[in-house]
Chains A and B, each alone.
Chain A
Amino acid sequence: MSTITLQNVSYLYSAGTPFEKYALKDINVTIPSGRITGLIGHTGSGKSTLVQLLNGLLRPTEGKILLDGRDIWEDEKKIRDVRFKVGLVMQYPEYQLFEETVRKDVAFGPKNMGLEAPEIEERVKMAAFFCGITEDLLDKSPFELSGGQKRRVAIAGVIAMRPEFLILDEPSAGLDPVGRDTILGGIKKYREETGGSVVIVSHSMEDVAVYCDSLIVMNKGAVYAEGDTREIFSTPEKLYGVGLDVPQITGVTEALRSKGLGLPSDILTVSEARDAILSLAKRRGLL
């Protein structure tokens, strides 16, 4: 299984002009393999910058990014291979569609990899399946789709490359609950079936609580905390300090606990809360 490690990575925007600014400062982190990792942090904390460094769209001002122990910038000509291994879906990716049909657009990545036509066809089908794109949508023009459908097509375009690391920058921002669950659920399925690693940037604590196994918390261009989702959300005060929150339901159960109800302290999702409350009620003989 592949690994990505960042060593003393810093990134400076607009170097050499009056507008220069450190977006990342001295980052040391290993992206967990074989799991879904959430990347959270307040606006401007450097999440988008970090994910663009991971697949070589940006080149670190200082430090190294190691993919399987090798600096990805060791040979500049091979950076394209890195991008096939580390697939990145940018923030608001729906503006990148350009082909006549959805099918052709999703095939753009695999085609760039130099795959054979049957293999491409198969990968488009697989990606469409994970992203909930139906057969009739595949032959439409991407420009006549709704915003949420475009988003799914754009994500399918990266999944079709079958990257070992799939990185998504705010994949669910601005979608309705069903659209959000289709996308995040599809990503989870993709990870389970291919056994790769996924990084999801998100502002929704509820989403990361449900879908992510571990979290990396950013603050002002530095890694503020990292660890298992449950562990990170078990210290709410630490998160409040950097403009973040715990999932609403965790807040609710926390409030109930402080009123003296014997609920566990690490509840992250609504269904967990339901089970805990039901079993508490049973124990007290209310049901």
Chain B
Amino acid sequence: MMRDITLGQYFPGTSVLHRSDPRMKLILTLIFIVFVFLAKSLWAYVWLFVFTFSLLIVSRLPVKVILKGLKPVLFIIAITVIFNLFLTKGEDLLFECKFIHIYFEGVMFAVYMIIRIVCLILGTSVILTYTTSPVDLTDGIEQLLSPLKKIKIPVHEFAMMMSIALRFIPTLTEETEKIMNAQKARGADLSSGGLIKRAKALIPILIPLFVSSLRRADELATAMECRCYRGGDGRTRMKRLKYSPRDLVLFLVFAAFGTGIILLNIFIPYLVI
């Protein structure tokens, strides 16, 4: 049920992407996102598509599971496709029926949007979330943003909050499932009735969940204080991040990908919409 959502989950592994520096992966993710939106011509989109799936293969993640994880965004894709299909105006009319007009440009645009959304989600999660453990990820963010400490932004505290939040997602998921099971065992009916009845049926789940979250937060704070946690000042780390030649190679690969998109846009401007 809730466990089936893979989006945003970490899959341990040993591929190049798993082993490169989280800071580099954050930078590469930004680069990737920028170039996803810069693609304009048909061949640029094809290049984007091929690149994204090569990433997926290089990462050695279980392709089937990852593709299944795209299910939750299917709805967004469907809506974008419908809007683009029916609302794009162009010159090459393909189909007409009363007030519905479908143009060739609309069809192409819809296809582009599918590629864009799928690549955006797949690419960013393969580069970042699927292959980076949450701890590494927040470490990377903290270090990348650490220059901001100079202007008194509590970067360390934000990073700590984020890692705690990430850390507790699976715990809370498990807790929710347990409470749901306990109430179901007492005959709670969570899946039938109208909207109001269903909302009411959530009360027996939400109240224990809130109570236990507050208790957990309290316990965690105490535990941290017992171990003398006092914020980021003068804190050293056990695992220090270091760039390796691997990261440089990865950077060059992404630079090549970006250049490819620009060149394809300029030199083969086929079907630019």
Residues of chain A lying within 8 A (CB to CB) of residue B6 = 17
> A87, B185: Cβ atoms under 8 Å?
yes
Q: Does A90 contact B (CB under 8 A)?
A: yes
Residues of chain A lying within 8 A (CB to CB) of residue B178 = 90, 95
What CA separation (Å) do A14 and B3 show in the bound complex? 8
> B187, A57: Cβ atoms under 8 Å?
no
Which interface class (under 10, 10 to 19, 20 to 34, 35 or more) fits B?
20 to 34
> A109, B182: Cβ atoms under 8 Å?
no
Cβ-defined partner of A90 (8 Å) among B11, B182, B203, B212 = B182
Cβ-defined partner of A161 (8 Å) among B11, B65, B187, B189 = B187
> A109, B186: Cβ atoms under 8 Å?
yes
Closest-by-CB residue of A relative to B188 is: A112
- Contact string against B for A residues 39-59, beta-carbon threshold 8 Å, 1 for contact and 0 otherwise: 000000000000010010100
Q: Does A113 contact B (CB under 8 A)?
A: yes
- Contact string against B for A residues 59-93, beta-carbon threshold 8 Å, 1 for contact and 0 otherwise: 00000000000000000000010011001111001
Residues of chain B lying within 8 A (CB to CB) of residue A248 = none
Number of residues of chain A lying within 8 A (CB) of chain B: 28
Q: Does A211 contact B (CB under 8 A)?
A: no
Q: Does A285 contact B (CB under 8 A)?
A: no
Residues of chain A lying within 8 A (CB to CB) of residue B183 = 96, 108
Residues of chain B lying within 8 A (CB to CB) of residue A88 = 185
Give the one of A55, A83, A95, A96 with max B CB within 10 A. A96
Q: Does A97 contact B (CB under 8 A)?
A: yes
Nearest Cβ in chain B — how far from A186, in angstroms?
18
- Contact string against A for B residues 162-194, beta-carbon threshold 8 Å, 1 for contact and 0 otherwise: 000000000000010011011111111100000
What CA separation (Å) do A14 and B189 show in the bound complex? 24
What CA separation (Å) do A275 and B3 show in the bound complex? 55
Residues of chain A lying within 8 A (CB to CB) of residue B203 = 98
> B204, A158: Cβ atoms under 8 Å?
no
Cβ-defined partner of A95 (8 Å) among B62, B65, B186, B212 = B212
What CA separation (Å) do A143 and B179 show in the bound complex? 16
> A161, B181: Cβ atoms under 8 Å?
no
Q: Does B269 contact A (CB under 8 A)?
A: no
What CA separation (Å) do A112 and B189 show in the bound complex? 8
- Contact string against B for A residues 13-46, beta-carbon threshold 8 Å, 1 for contact and 0 otherwise: 0101110000000000000000000000000000
What CA separation (Å) do A4 and B13 show in the bound complex? 43
Residues of chain A lying within 8 A (CB to CB) of residue B186 = 83, 96, 108-109, 112, 157-158, 161
Interface residue ranges, A against B (CB under 8 Å): 14, 16-18, 52, 55, 57, 80, 83-84, 87-90, 93, 95-98, 108-109, 112-113, 143, 154, 157-158, 161
Interface residue ranges, B against A (CB under 8 Å): 3, 6, 11-12, 62, 65, 68, 175, 178-179, 181-189, 203-204, 207-208, 211-212
- Not counting A16-B68, A17-B65, A83-B186, a sample of 17 additional A-B residue pairs whose C-beta atoms are within 8 angstroms of each other reads A14-B3, A16-B65, A17-B3, A18-B62, A80-B189, A83-B187, A90-B178, A90-B185, A95-B175, A95-B211, A96-B179, A96-B183, A96-B186, A96-B204, A108-B183, A143-B211, A158-B185
Q: List 13 A-B contacts (CB under 8 A).
A: A52-B181, A83-B184, A83-B185, A83-B187, A89-B185, A90-B178, A90-B185, A95-B175, A95-B178, A96-B186, A98-B208, A108-B186, A112-B188
